[in-house]
Amino acid sequence: MTDRFKQHGAFSWNELMTNDPQSATDFYTKLLGWTAEDVQMEDMSYTVITAGDEQVGGIMKIPPEAEGTPPHWGAYITVDNVDETAGKAEGLGAKIIIPPRDIPNVGRFAVI
């Protein structure tokens, strides 16, 4: 099986941004049998969700810079080079919502 964290073009992570992470965590763990582990990131709390024995995503509070955004699931797609891919996406007509930046101890991302 391919490592989704290394395979260009693979969906690699799913993330719920919500106003009430605890209620969302309670709901999804009861509904789907996920397990959840709270981890402290540099500047926020984050809940990692696991299906079976595989970490599949996370749940977090909507950050201040996204205030007013309704709760939603987002999907991360692995790419070989975030900066190049964001530039290519923009050239193809995408709007860059968050330009490429680092998540400490995790990796680089952009929102298009």
Q: pLDDT (tens digit, 9 = 90+) per residue, 58-112?
A: 999 999 988 999 999 999 999 999 999 999 999 999 999 999 999 888 889 999 9
Residues of the chain with CATH 3.10.180.10: 12-77
Whole-number average pLDDT of the chain:
94
What pLDDT sits at residue 1?
A: 52
Tell me how far CA of residue 61 lies from CA of 33, 41, 96, 98, 100, in angstroms.
21, 12, 21, 17, 21
- pLDDT for 60: 96
pTM, two decimals, is: 0.85
pLDDT digits over 10-20, tens only? Answer: 999 999 999 99
Which pLDDT score is estimated for 103?
A: 87
Candidate CATH numbers 3.10.180.10, 3.30.497.10, 1.10.1530.10, 3.40.50.620; the one for domain 12-77: 3.10.180.10
